[in-house]
Amino acid sequence: MKSLTTEGASTKISPIVRQDKEVKTIMVPVTSSKILVIESRKSESLDVIPSQNEGVLVYTVDMMKGQLGGGYVIQKRVGSIDTNFEDAALHAGDSITVEGVKITVTGLSTSGDTVKISKG
């Protein structure tokens, strides 16, 4: 993303496991050592996901901590109850704000998911 505005910008992201040349991941710096990561998860290839759990996965990565040190934190959608985060992905119409960044899922489709990202 070039810059974050209150109006926001929409981007379509292709499922992370799909072999194509489309956008796979959106990364937004939120501090000097932390990024917000947004990706599309579909039941394809190595990702075996029930259709009701497909959607947009949002998580933060603290680069000062290692993966085993808790550097990755899944940002669950409202209503997510699974302790393994299997139902954490956002669905069409869902919106969350993380570290002042608002992510709204404006559409889900087999070709990819569309998100609007703005200042929260």
Question: Could you tell me if 3 and 102 are in contact, meaning their C-beta atoms sit under 8 angstroms apart?
Answer: no
Which pTM value belongs to this model?
A: 0.89
For residue 115, how many other CB atoms are within 10 A of its CB?
Answer: 26
Task: Give the least confident one: 5-9, 50-54, 77-81.
Answer: 5-9
User: Residue 75: its pLDDT value, please?
Assistant: 95
User: Residue 69: its pLDDT value, please?
Assistant: 72
Name 51's Cβ contacts closer than 8 Å, sequence gap at least 6.
Answer: 43
Residues 10-27 have pLDDT tens digits of: 999 999 888 999 999 999
User: Residue 48: its pLDDT value, please?
Assistant: 84
Confidence of residue 4 (pLDDT cuts 50, 70, 90): low
Measured in residues, the chain has a length of 120
